[in-house]
Amino acid sequence: MADISTLNTTVAGFDAVSSRLASGPSGRKPRRMLSTRNIVLYGTLTVAALYYLLPLYVMVVTSLKGMPEVRLGNIFSPPLEITFEPWVKAWAQACTGLNCDGLSRGFWNSVRILVPSVVVSIAVASVSGYALANWRFKGAELFFSILIIGAFIPYQVMIYPIVIVLRELGIYGTLTGLVIVHTIFGMPILTLLFRNYFASLPVELFKAARIDGAGFWQIYFRIMLPMSLPIFVVAMILQVTGIWNDFLFGVVFTRPDTYPMTVQLNNIVNSVQGVKEYNVNMAATLLTGAVPLIVYFLSGRLFVRGIAAGAVKG
């Protein structure tokens, strides 16, 4: 098979050459690859790219070294002897306070926080966005404006009132409380995202469904939802990275044994007791960064679309 296909391309190449010879030069003048412009352009971009990659490289390299090698100096040198012990230690043995069961606890806490928060915040925001886009009622735009302006209010201003509300409801410090907090602060951006998306869908579809007698929920579940899977994915990317990376709400609204991964990581690395184990610290940092990084590398363009939708249209 391989032979035949190379033969084919060679034949095609011959054809192309012979026809070009017959009709004289055609097409664009070939650009020189190594012009000064290109050297400067790609040179600058490559240097910048290396700078951005450097911390990631240092993290990986440090986490694979043993402590004696780390102490020898040079954070940029590749490990002489690769060891995965720091990773094991970061995951299963690193200490925060009296607990010495590693970051795994924080990881599972974060998962337990992440899943319901993402589901609830997207469900609530998509329904609100749908109501705003297709079922406008008097005053709806006012609430929406408050919501959007509220997105700029520093969290610190609203944290204490929320603590009081949650305490009155008896859910301060519980998982439910934190899910509510993430739903609240995810609402402005997500509602905006969904509102704009639903408003961009053809109105005729909505009208046709209305004429056929479909109601609010029926249209939502049977027309809007199936048609807007991409925007749900974008919203999911936004929320997964946002909630996983959250620190402030984790500190304020959870208790030490339910601290999310970011909080626990900070406690492990910045603890004052004991000898600093830089390799374990870097392994722990990488482990915490792994989830959003994986989401980022897998989602590619959608991630960019998410932040652009959130930012530019805001």
120: closest CA among 262, 243, 230?
A: 243
**By C-beta, is 84 or 160 nearer to other proteins?**
160
Is the sign of the CA dihedral 40, 42, 45, 47 positive or negative?
negative
**By C-beta, is 92 or 164 nearer to other proteins?**
164
Distance of alpha carbon 128 from alpha carbon 197, whole angstroms: 12
Q: What separation, in Å, do the N-terminal and C-terminal C-alpha atoms of the chain show? A: 54
Least distance (Å) between residue 16 CB and other proteins: 23
Least distance (Å) between residue 202 CB and other proteins: 13
Least distance (Å) between residue 15 CB and other proteins: 28
Coil, strand or helix at 124: helix
Residue 94, both tokens: 């690193």
Distance of alpha carbon 297 from alpha carbon 274, whole angstroms: 36
**By C-beta, is 231 or 284 nearer to other proteins?**
284
Least distance (Å) between residue 284 CB and other proteins: 8
Least distance (Å) between residue 88 CB and other proteins: 19
CA atoms within 13 A on the CB side of 62: 22
Residue 139, both tokens: 């005053």
Residue 15 sits at the vertex; the CA angle it makes with 10 and 18, to the nearest 5 degrees, is: 125
**By C-beta, is 175 or 251 nearer to other proteins?**
251
**By C-beta, is 20 or 276 nearer to other proteins?**
276
Least distance (Å) between residue 229 CB and other proteins: 20
156-164's contacts with Cβ under 8 Å and 24+ in sequence apart are: 159/248, 159/252, 163/252, 163/253
Question: Letter for the amino acid at 66?
Answer: G
